[in-house]
Amino acid sequence: MTSANSGAGAAAPPPGPAPVPVLLEARRLVRDFGSFRAVNDVSLRVAEGTIHSVIGPNGAGKTTLFRLLTGIHRPTSGRVLLDGRDVTGQAPHAIARRGLAQSFQLTTIFPRLTVLESVQAAIVAASGHRADFVSRFHRSTVPEAMRVLGRVGLADHARTLAGTLSHGDQRALDVALALATKPKVLLLDEPTAGMSEAETERTIALIADLVRTGGITVLFSEHDMDIVFGISDRVTVLHQGRVIAEGTGPQVRANEEVTAVYLGGSGWGMQRDA
Ligand code: ADP
Ligand code: MG
């Protein structure tokens, strides 16, 4: 990303409306695996209360970028800032405690817990208490757990065993488990992968609702670019580890390089994992 404003730390702010605070920022991130550069000089700024998507074909570097942000991978160079604080190189749990949550496919880990119990366990874990406190806090966490389940549309499934949920409901529960930690920013790495069209629509609607009415900021990745345009405030396009475009959906869609990559080579708008 090239920007005329970058680097000039003490410069006067540009004229115009006050900018929305940036909650999560990547500054010139690089990640090498041996001699292979998976993430190459990637910068992005996720503004508070927005939906920001990272799109790009398989292998573009989306997952690696997310792992740099969450602390799972250390960057070869570059910085990660969360809510104005430099968290580069911090452990994933430390970054999570500062308000960055990532949704993992965790429901497979607790197939024998009910949906409600799963969320309660996540609430207790986020509180820093040990697992054997689960029973003691059992009743006190029910209202909060039910509130979270309501957010993702699973309140009616509270007593269902997590392992028996439909694929779409399991992914919704994964989001609920991340929300239970009360994050400022929620990262979703290809949340619609393997979903039917109906499940994809529901997931996108859920993401939009979380941000518009839930006071959450979402950064999500997607390889099917058509999915993101409707709901994204901002879109960053990755290709071979680099940012090739950044802007609103319409700006990105009109970008010639994006069009060339999208239509040529891999035809990455067409492929679904399912
Ligand atoms: P995406 O999520 O956009 O599909 P990834 O971030 O998973 O892309 O991968 C980007 C590139 O980095 C790919 O070529 C992949 O093979 C490579 N890569 C990812 N993780 C590793 C790793 N741990 N070791 C070596 N290469 C990796
Ligand atoms: Mg990926």
Distance CA 95, CA 88 (A): 9
Pairing of strands 51-55, 185-189: unpaired
- Measured in Å, residue 266 CA sits from the centre of ligand 1 at 16
Give yes or no for a contact between 120 and 138, defined as CB atoms under 8 angstroms apart. yes
* C-beta of 32 in contact with ligand 1 (< 6 A): no
- Measured in Å, residue 254 CA sits from the centre of ligand 2 at 24
Give yes or no for a contact between 36 and 6, defined as CB atoms under 8 angstroms apart. no
Q: Kindly list the averaged pLDDT for each block of 10 residues, start to end, along the chain of length 274.
A: 46 69 97 98 97 94 96 97 96 93 73 89 78 63 94 95 90 90 92 87 90 91 85 95 96 91 63 45
Q: What is the pLDDT of residue 249?
A: 92
Distance CA 167, CA 200 (A): 11
Which amino acid would we find at residue 180? A
- The pLDDT tens digits for 79-117 are 999 999 999 999 998 999 999 998 876 666 677 889 999
- The pLDDT tens digits for 47-58 are 999 999 999 988
Distance CA 113, CA 110 (A): 5
* C-beta of 63 in contact with ligand 1 (< 6 A): yes
- Measured in Å, residue 61 CA sits from the centre of ligand 1 at 6
Give yes or no for a contact between 115 and 158, defined as CB atoms under 8 angstroms apart. yes
